[in-house]
Amino acid sequence: MLKQTLTMVTATAVCVLAAVGARADTSDKSIALSNNYAGNSWRQAMLRSWDKVTKQAVADGKVKAADAFTTAENQVTEQAAQIQNLILQGYDAIVLNAASPDALNGAVKEACDAGIVVVSFDGIVTEPCAWRIAVDFKQMGKDQIAYLAEKMPDGGNLLEIRGLAGVFVDDEISAGIHEGVAEHPQFKIVGSVHGDWAQDVAQKAVAGILPSLPEIHAVVTQGGDGYGAAQAFRAAGRPTPLIIMGNREDELLWWKEQKDANGYETMSVSIAPGVSTLAFWVAQQILDGQDVPKDLVVPFLRIDQDNLEQNLANTEKGGVANVEYSLEDAQKVIQAAKAAK
């Protein structure tokens, strides 16, 4: 009986020690951010969020270092070389906003083979050894058409403004928009341009295509392009259509001005730039020995007519409506993913 009791106690102790032992000290670990592009307000806000949260994490002794690296051009070869340099520099984890979902897989596999944790976000990668954090970008596109179907039941002509060509996010949002149009055939996409998620690029692209287009009833977007589109329509002397916005401060400010002047209605949706901080904490948790599912999903941030003013007031000048994540937030996202499985 005593032997059986001791065996049970020992087994219990082993379980407890195993649970506790799963946690490793990460104060000597270094995490790098590999970012492929910084040429718009969303990417700038993303980098500021990373800097703010990771500096505090380093000061608190959570990690040794959390350095950010951005390539000069949105080129796969350049980012692959950057990842290889980070491997040589001995980082324990790489948080990655990728230029391509698959073209960087070789470099990512090299990092994994070197024992480095790779967590991709926003622009995610398909290499199985990496972790992925994304919103349902395809649903984000479909939701735009669903909103338009409510506001414009008779449908109409749509202009689509896409993001950076060849990037996973651009492909997924566009696919969702086209699926939405297939489900609501009263709408027709009569023109499509790439705005690179930047207001100035979008304005120039829309101005270039407008003369060849019929009446436009609505503009579907990906973020960072709504204000530029509005300026292009104004400069062309054409009626302002319903333009879906992307949570940028200049878009929200323009929307409020139009709302106050004539009751203009629309909606705004984007992934929060602070998702980079979630990716940081997920990497830290993996280094900490936690069991983290390979695929994590976070909701996109949507702004509607009734909460426009509140969100605008909380958005910095020239910035993007944002949410930054804490360690506890990351742990909740991880637990939710486990529960979903």
CA dist 90 and 84 (Å) reads: 10
Query: 84 in a domain, yes or no?
Result: yes
Q: Which domain holds residue 226?
A: 137-270
In a domain, 130, yes or no: yes
Task: Looking at the structure, tell me whether residues 91 and 151 fall in a common domain.
Answer: no
Q: Do 128 and 185 lie in a common domain?
A: no
Same domain, 143 and 106: no
* Domain contains 184: yes
Q: Within this chain, do residues 281 and 241 fall inside the same structural domain, yes or no? A: no
Q: What's the structural domain count of the chain? A: 2
Distance (Å, whole) CA 160 – CA 188 = 10
Alpha-carbon gap, residue 132 to 234, rounded angstroms: 40
Q: Are 263 and 234 found together in one domain?
A: yes
Strands lying side by side in the sheet with 242-243: 187-194, 156-162, 218-220, 242-243
In a domain, 193, yes or no: yes
pLDDT at res. 19:
37
Last residue of a domain, one of 270, 289, 308: 270
Q: Are residues 74 and 147 in the same domain?
A: no
Which CATH number does the domain housing residue 189 bear? 3.40.50.2300
Length of the chain: 341
Same domain, 110 and 145: no
Q: Where among 251, 270, 289 does a domain terminate?
A: 270
Per-residue pLDDT of the chain (341 residues; tens, 9 = 90+): 333 333 333 333 333 333 333 456 899 999 999 999 898 889 999 999 999 999 999 999 999 999 999 998 889 999 999 999 999 999 999 999 999 999 999 999 999 999 999 999 999 999 999 999 988 999 999 999 999 999 999 999 999 999 989 888 899 999 999 999 999 999 999 999 999 999 999 999 999 999 999 999 999 999 989 999 999 999 999 999 999 999 999 999 999 999 999 999 999 999 999 999 999 999 999 999 999 999 999 989 999 999 999 999 999 999 999 999 999 999 999 999 999 87
Report the relative pairing of strands 268-270 and 301-303 from DSSP bridges: antiparallel
Position 64 in a domain:
yes
Mark whether 149 and 128 lie in a shared domain.
Answer: no
pTM of the model: 0.82
Q: Which two tokens stand for residue 326?
A: 């804490």
Residue 180 lies in a domain: yes
Residues 176 and 247 in one domain: yes
Burial, 340: exposed, middle or buried (Cβ in 10 Å; 0-12, 13-18, 19+)? exposed
**11 inside domain:** no
> 275-287 and 327-340 are packed helices; what angle lies between their axes, rounded to 10 degrees?
80
Residues 156, 197, single domain; the answer is: yes
Strands (E), the chain: 30-35, 65-70, 93-97, 117-121, 131-134, 156-162, 187-194, 218-220, 242-243, 268-270, 295-297, 301-303
Q: Does residue 236 form part of some domain?
A: yes
* Co-location of 157 and 234 in the same domain: yes
Do 148 and 260 fall into the same domain? yes
